[in-house]
Chain A
Amino acid sequence: MLNMVSLFLISIPVGFLGALTGLGGASILVPLLVLLGIPVKEAIASCMVAIIATSSGSASSYARKGITNVKVAFYLEMFTTVGAIMGATITTLIAPVYLYFFFAGFLLTSFLKSGEEVKDDWATPEYQDKLSRWLDLHGSYFDEAKRNLIEYKVQSALLGGLGMLIAGLAAGMLGIGAGAFKVTVQESILKLPPKVSSTTSNFIIGMTALAGTSVYFFSGLLNLTLMAPMVVGTTLGAVAGGRVLNKLGNRTLRILFYAIVVFLIAQMLYKGVTSI
């Protein structure tokens, strides 16, 4: 029987694995809650609130270190917040059965990022388009591993914004951070350096989750007894996960990532098919 203590205890390893694999706690927790008998819309709404805590908690230290490009973040938040409000509104209106399939479908996009090998030969684009220049999106950060200041330019601001609209839509609709998708957009379209991309995405996720929450707040889906233990548990887990992240080998992480994603997709598809 799921109660607040067991949910708290489940949320800790979920937050831990979410941070470790880059999937995010909510992508794991929504299917898990559904498996444990929680209605899918309630699971989505509660996870949206929990994301504000996990994302803001980790975004804090990166922002203080100056790795996050806050201008890029502010610009992209215009798109993700609009997307999230639209997505959350859709979720409150549609039949739950669609959500299982959308969820499983969106999880497939997490393979986009992990399919590539980890690139170390990142180089800043020579050319910067008009909009990116007008928005002053270029930036610099101090790379601790390379021990020097890295300066970079940003490309295709408009296309990147549209990509983020889709990321926000999926995030608001499914109660997840959609971090892997955001990172892919920022690295392949905007050409942000990997470190800047992952920390900036984390920063944006908190605001996107707030936009989604603003819709869910009074939809009658936010159960306090569900939310309270989840918020505390996933955040504690995520903080711990962030700390051991650099100590694990890439291969171990990759296998763990695939195993979890395949399980989650299977679980959501099963639930979807059996509830038709």
Chain B
Amino acid sequence: MNSGDRFDRAIGYVLITGVVISLLVEAIGILLYYLSYRHFNISEERALFIHGRNFFDFVIELLHGGTMGKKAVFLMSLGVVILVLTPYVRVLMSVLYFAWEKNTKYILITLFVLVLLTISLAVQ
């Protein structure tokens, strides 16, 4: 198996791992939501919307427990964060892979997407 095939496989495993973990976390979040609120209603409460300054701040706040008091909301937010990070990690890996291959064209192409996404996640 050449390095390209191995790279394809590695990407495949990153994607499936991210999705499976995210879905499990979301499912546990929904159950905890029921256990703490005793209903499954879709809420229009502001606390149940994602809010904050930008994605990276949000993650740091989430990890510190910050404004997210309830575990259910924490887990549902965490599930989304893992989901968002899944393709993000995929681009990051691609930049590193092409750097290792010394393929300048594709370092630039993947770096473009990585920088664009980082900026878009970091500003509001």
Question: B18: which A residues are within 8 A, CB to CB?
Answer: 56
1/0 contact trace for B89-124 toward A, CB 8 Å?
A: 011001000000000011001101100110011001
Let me know if A2 is at the binding interface, CB within 8 A.
yes
Contact with A along B2-14 (1 / 0, CB 8 A): 0001011101110
Query: Number of contacting residues on B, CB 8 A?
Result: 57
Q: Does B43 contact A (CB under 8 A)?
A: yes
- B64 in contact (CB, < 8 A): no
State in angstroms the CA–CA spacing of A109 and B48 once bound together: 35
Residues in A neighbouring B106, C-beta threshold 8 A: 71, 74
Chain B proximity of A215: nearest CB distance (Å): 6
Tell me, rounded to whole Å, the shortest Cβ–Cβ distance linking A205 to chain B.
10
Known contacts A49-B83, A78-B112; decide if A224 and B77 are in contact (CB<8 Å). Answer: yes
Chain A interface helix/strand/loop/mixed: helix
Q: Report yes or no: A60 in contact with B41, Cβ–Cβ below 8 A.
A: no
Nearest to B77 among chain A residues (CB) is A224
Distance of B2 from chain A, by nearest CB (Å): 10
A231 touches B83 (CB 8 A): yes
Stretch at the interface among A61-69, A95-103, A240-248: A61-69
B83 and A75: CB pair below 8 A?
A: no
B84 and A225 within 8 A (CB): no
Which residues of chain A are near B22, meaning CB under 8 Å?
53, 231
Asked whether A171 is an interface residue with its Cβ less than 8 Å from the other chain, the reply is no
Chain B's closest residue to A8 (CB) is: B30
Interface contact A218-B116, CB-CB below 8 Å: no
Binds B, one of A146-154, A182-190, A206-214, A264-272: A206-214
Q: Given the complex of chains A and B, what is the CA–CA distance between A71 and B50 in angstroms?
A: 34
Which B residues are in CB contact (< 8 Å) with A38?
42
In the assembled complex, the CB of A240 is this many whole angstroms from the nearest CB of chain B, namely: 14
Interface bracket on A? 35 or more
Beta-carbon contact of A226 and B42 below 8 Å? yes
Task: Flag A5-38 by CB within 8 Å of B: 1 or 0 each.
Answer: 1011000000000000000000000000000001
Interface centre among B39, B42, B49, B88 (most CB of A within 10 A): B42
Interface: A122 (CB within 8 A): no
Identify which of B39, B44, B87 contacts A56 (C-beta below 8 A). Answer: B87
A140→B15 CA distance, assembly (Å): 22
Rounded to whole Å, the gap between the CB of A188 and the closest CB of chain B is: 23
Contacts of A57 in B (CB 8 A): 15-16, 19
Other than the given A63-B8, A226-B42, A228-B26, 8 more pairs (CB < 8 A) read A4-B41, A8-B30, A70-B7, A70-B8, A136-B105, A211-B120, A218-B54, A232-B30
Q: Identify 26 residue pairs between A and B in the complex whose beta-carbon atoms are under 8 Å apart, listed by A's number.
A: A1-B41, A7-B42, A8-B30, A49-B84, A52-B87, A60-B19, A64-B13, A70-B94, A74-B110, A81-B117, A206-B90, A207-B87, A207-B90, A211-B116, A214-B121, A217-B58, A217-B84, A218-B52, A223-B44, A224-B29, A225-B76, A226-B42, A228-B26, A231-B79, A232-B23, A235-B23
B residues touching A (Cβ–Cβ < 8 Å)?
A: 5, 7-9, 11-13, 15-16, 18-19, 22-23, 26-27, 29-30, 33, 39-44, 48-55, 58, 73, 76-77, 79-80, 83-84, 86-88, 90-91, 94, 105-106, 109-110, 112-113, 116-117, 120-121, 124
